[in-house]
């Protein structure tokens, strides 16, 4: 599924972490538009599924975390901050033994340093265009999403 400038998703994006039982997939994004547009995107995202370990009994639908943005030009760090807070919270509560970051944004490099210092495995996936080298260097395993197709 692809909604330009909002999100891109394919159930296979979680393939890299299938040796783990995936508990939740949270998709962080911005939506430009009114409350109806946000609701429409949220509903579409909640219909998306992710690949999971065959023995898992957990649900396979995405959990959207959507921030409303007034316009495309306005800079926003709300997504980055919320993702970082959530990831560190789960790591330090001992809720996870691994994390999969689907982003090529080098701003997450210090976050991954801290996650690894806590003894948590770090997987990173992104499209090769814009995949920051600093993330690749900090990951225990890397997967480029190029060639993945979506509707």
3-state secondary structure labels for all residues of the chain: CEECCCEECCHHHHHHHCCCCCCCCEEEEEEECCHHHHHHHHHHHHCCECCCCCCCCCCCECEEEEEEECCCCCCCCHHHHHHHHHHHHHHHCCCCCEEEEECCCHHHHHHHHHHHHCCCEEEEEECCCCCCHHHHHHCCEEEECCCCCCC
The CATH classification number of 77-146 equals 3.40.50.1010
Per-residue pLDDT of the chain (151 residues; tens, 9 = 90+): 777 777 788 777 777 676 777 778 899 988 988 899 999 999 999 998 888 767 777 778 889 999 888 776 555 678 899 999 999 999 999 999 999 998 999 999 999 999 999 999 999 988 888 899 999 999 999 988 886 543 3
What is the rounded (10 degree) CA torsion for 55, 58, 21, 121?
Answer: 170
pTM: 0.81
Domain definitions of the chain by residue range: 1-73, 77-146
């Amino acid at each position: 599924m692809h909604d330009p400038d909002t999100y891109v998703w394919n159930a296979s994006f979680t393939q890299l972490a299938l040796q783990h039982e995936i508990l939740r997939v949270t998709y962080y994004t911005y939506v430009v538009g009114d409350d109806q547009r946000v609701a429409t995107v949220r509903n579409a995202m909640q219909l998306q599924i992710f690949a999971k370990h065959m023995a898992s009994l957990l649900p396979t639908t995405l959990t959207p975390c959507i921030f409303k943005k007034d316009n495309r030009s306005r800079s926003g760090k709300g997504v980055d901050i919320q993702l970082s807070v959530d990831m560190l919270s789960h790591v330090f509560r001992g809720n996870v033994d691994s994390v999969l970051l689907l982003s090529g944004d080098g701003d997450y490099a210090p976050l991954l340093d801290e996650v690894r210092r806590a003894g948590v495995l770090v997987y990173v996936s992104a499209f090769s265009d814009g995949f920051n080298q600093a993330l690749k260097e900090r990951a225990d395993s890397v997967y480029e999403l190029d060639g993945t197709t979506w509707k």
